[in-house]
Structures are given as structure tokens and as C-alpha cells.
Structure 1
Amino acid sequence: MPVLRIEIGAPAEVLQPDAVRAAVAEFFSMLIFVFAGKGSSMAFAKLTHGPPDSPAGVIAAALAHAFALFVAISVSANISGGHINPAVTFALLISSYISFFRSILYWTAQLLGATVACLLLRVATGGLETMMPYSLAPRVSCGNALIFEIVMTFGLVYTVFATAVDPKKGHIGVIAPIAIGFIVGANILAGGAFEGASMNPAVAFGPAAVSWRWKYHWVYWVGPFIGAGAAAVVYEFLFIDEMDHEQLPVADF
């Protein structure tokens, strides 16, 4: 049987040097990812005077996010595991690969990294107003957006488990950052024109906090957490044996 439980850990864990280094790595990787991803949408709007959700804008955003996430995971994989997403951290938490207290540390660093990236973009662009928070397109309901976020995040986290977490991954683990970046880019092409295709609560939180616009923001938390949890449960039950389950070494992700 697979292991599905939450390891609480100890409060003192958040003060351990390796945990602090991991949180700092998550902060900087999230900053890199959000700055490049959101910055690409802002630059596209400035250069073309068109909306970021136009066909060309969605393609540009998909490529920028895919490339940026590949780099963000690669540069932090040997320090924090390269989560770069509160939903990924949640999936690893409920699968007992990471403790609850370390998860809190990661979530804090991820949210701060996304917020600082958005603040830097606002300052660097002179307060450019195209950095809008994630929102729903016309005739797209909260239910529609929730389904998009659940399914897309399921695909993302399933890819994470298959290429980075599974003890039987073998040499496929080398391409984990590429595979994860690709699935995020593909999902943006699928859902970007409908509801922004966040798949990452921190990526949605940063623009919302800087612009202080929270309408429908709950969708970008509930959907990714449901999708991530479902992917963790499915992969653990179907493909990982309890005897193979082990605490995820930082250097392996």
C-alpha cells in the first residue's frame, strides 16, 4: 500500500540551516519564474498594444513560462527540490515526502518570491498597468475555471511525480525540469485564453497582492490544490509501492 499521511515534523525544523537555505532557494527561483513569465506578458502588451490573452500573447506567455520554469527548477533542484509551486509542495506534503513545518516555510518563501517579482516589475516598468491578476474571460464561469485549474494542475503534478518523485524514475529524472516546463507551457496554450492558466497559487497571488484585486482569486487556490492532491493520490496508489516510498532527497528533485 502507498504512504498517504502528513508528516508534521517539529517547529524547530524551520530554523535548521538546510531548511532556511531551501526556503531562500524557493524564494529566488519563484522570483525568477514570475518575473520572466509575467514580464513577458507585459512586454508583449507594450510592444503590440494588444491584450495578453490574444493568440500571439498566449503563445508568448506559454513559451516564456515553460523556459523560465525549466530554469527555476534546475537552479534550485539540488537545494530545495525545486518545487516552485505551493500546489506541488502540498502534493508532496500529503504523500509524506516533506513535513508540514517545512511546507509552511516553502509556502511563505514562494508567496514572497512571487510578490517581490511583481513589485519589481511594477517599479521597473514605471507602474505599467498591464500586469493584471488572473481573471476569467467573458462567458467563463467559476465552475469552468475551476475545472481548468484542477485538470491542468493534475497533469502538472502527475508529471512531477512521474519524472522527479517516483523512486523507479531512473535516468528519466534528468529531464524532469524540461518535462515540467513543457507541460506548463502546453497547459497555458490550452487554458490561457479562458482563465489565465495559473496552476500555481503563488503565481496568481503575486499580481493580486500588488494590484489588490482579489476577484475570483479563490479559484486559483482551490483548483490547483484539488488537482495536485488528486494527482498525488492517484500516482501513489497506482504506481508507488510502500517499500519503495522514501523521504525525497533534495538532490533527487
Structure 2
Amino acid sequence: MAAVAVSSSNPPAPPPKDYRDPPPAPLVDVGELGKWSLYRAVIAEFTATLLFVCVTVATVIGHKRQSDSCAGAGVLGIAWAFGGTIFVLVYCTAGISGGHINPAVTFAMLLARRVSLPRAALYVIAQCVGATCGAGLARALHGGGHYERHGGGANELAAGYSTVAGVGAEMVGTFVLVYTVFSATDPKRKARDSHVPVLAPLPIGLAVLAVHLATIPITGTGINPARSLGPAVVYNAGRAWSDQWMFWVGPLAGAAAAMLYHQYILRGAAAKAFASSYLAHFAA
């Protein structure tokens, strides 16, 4: 029996993908504003950010109160407090709001069209208000005198570092965090590795821990504009306000860069868009 030749002009079709990318969220979804799920998510973001800032700022103040007797948490303990708290809170809120707990993460998700503009705006407001309430609660726990004496846990550029170094540290730190968030929540990975959805909060928490170890000596580590704003509002002294801009510019720039790197280089969104327009042009 003669072999059947396969035409080189008709290569076999590629196997179907074993995952599905979610459709882009509409920029403005008016119908979303009438759903309880949106406001439940906003409440979750408020509460998670409140708890995050309260626990971490209380850890910082507690360390400074006890540092003379060598009984404080130390830089490593503070880094573990931030990373561990994020791990727990992302795990608890991921199924409700996505577990952003950070305006920089929300900004990156908006750029990637994973959330709508109204949802992103409500998230950021909730995060900032929650962070302010959390800092106020930490102040109440330690007392105003100790809180003021030890800097209120507010982020400031450390002596001996330039503003370029401060902004750069915040950019790099936030890039690591947001890149980890996108990688841990990638639909392709979640489809092929069944354990990824369960373990996703763990690498995010570890990223926060590692970044704190690297940048605490430079800026005290913001990488979260709400975390920097809340203590600045409650402390309201020193350089907490004059340095505040770098804790927004750095994280937002780093978040945007991480989104572009993951979505357009690693996941090839730009190439896919070009291929689609190319095929559509020749099909017309």
C-alpha cells in the first residue's frame, strides 16, 4: 500500500491550549457598581490592609522600644512580620477581592485589564483608609508617647542615601513583588500545576520578606503606597511627608514595569496582538 504523502503546505494544527486566559475586564463596568460582590471585595481590602499595617507597624515600634535590651525583633523579624502577614492575608482574601492589599498591585492589575477602573479606584481608597486606621490602631496599642518617639513606623529615606537610591529601591522592590504576583496567578501555571492556586500566597509573602531584607536600610521598605501613607497621616511629623512622593512614584513605576515584562515579554501579549492583526489583515 502506497504511503499517503502529507502536504507541507498544510502542517498539522497545534494542539489546543490546556488553559484559558480570562477576557480583559472592561475599563468601566457600570453594572458592577450595583453588585454586592464589589463592595464585599472593597470591605475585604479595607480590613486586610488595616490588619497588615497594624501588625507590621506595631512590630516596628515594638522592636524600637526593646532594641536597647537586644530583645527586639530585629530586621529579620520585621521582614518576617511583613512577609508572613501578607502571606496570611492574601490567602484569606484572594478568593474575595484578589488579595491586592496594595495600590501598586491594584494599579498593575488595572493596566493588565484584570480589574475595571471603578473597582481599582475603590480598592485604592479602601487600602489607604484601611492603612490609616491600622496605623492609628498601632498607635493606640503602643501609646502616643512611644509611637511618636519611635517614628510611628513611617517610611523615610535613610541618612546617607540619595533620592535616586530611594526611588530605585522602591522600584526594584515593587517590581519583584508584582512580578511574583503575576507569576503566581498566571492562568497557564494554574492549569498545569494543580498546587499553584493553593501555594500562590506563599511566594508572594516570601517576595515581600526578601525585599524587606534588602531595602529596610534604605527606605524602611514601602513597596506599598498605602502602607507608607497610613503611618505618615497618623505620625504627621519628620520626613514622612516630604519623602512621601518617592513611596508612590517608585512603587507605581515598578508595578507598571513588572506588568509589561510579564504580560508583553514572558506571555507574549504584544506578539499575540500583532499576529492577530496580521491574520485579520490578510483574511479581509
Aligned to 1:248: none
RMSD, aligned α-carbons: 2.5
Contact 1:6 1:94 in 2 (8 A): no
Bigger RCO (CA 8 Å, 6+ sep)? 1
Q: How many residues align?
A: 240
SS, match of residue 173 in structure 2: helix
Deviates more, 1:220-229 or 1:132-141: 132-141
- AA aligned to 1:216 is D
SS, match of residue 189 in structure 2: coil
- AA aligned to 1:41 is V
1:210 is aligned, of 234, 247, 250, to: 234
Aligned to 1:251: none
- AA aligned to 1:165 is D
Contact 1:114 1:203 in 2 (8 A): yes
Residues 36-92 of structure 1, C-alpha deviations (whole Å, 9 max, x = no match): 1111111111222489xx9x6321210110111111101111100101110000001
CA-CA distance at 1:241 after TM superposition: 5.2
Residues 134-179 of structure 1, C-alpha deviations (whole Å, 9 max, x = no match): 0111111111001101111101100001111343333323211110
Matches within 5 A, 1:80-95: 80-95=97-112
Q: Tell me the distance in 2 between the aligned counterparts of 1:50 and 1:222.
A: 37
- AA aligned to 2:62 is A
Q: Tell me the distance in 2 between the aligned counterparts of 1:221 and 1:50.
A: 35
Aligned to 1:180: 204
CA-CA distance at 1:239 after TM superposition: 2.7
Q: Tell me the distance in 2 between the aligned counterparts of 1:34 and 1:165.
A: 27
1:163 is aligned, of 184, 190, 193, to: 184
TM-score by length of 2: 0.78
Aligned to 1:26: 45
Aligned to 1:65: 82
Aligned to 1:102: 119
Identity of aligned residues (%): 36
TM-score by length of 1: 0.88
Contact 1:167 1:244 in 2 (8 A): no
CA-CA distance at 1:238 after TM superposition: 2.1
Contact 2:173 2:211 in 1 (8 A): yes
* Structure 1, unaligned runs of 5 or more: 246-253
Q: Tell me the distance in 2 between the aligned counterparts of 1:135 and 1:105.
A: 27
1:41 is aligned, of 35, 60, 64, to: 60
* Structure 2, unaligned runs of 5 or more: 1-20, 274-284
1:192 is aligned, of 213, 216, 226, to: 216
Rg larger in 1 or in 2? Answer: 2
- AA aligned to 1:102 is R
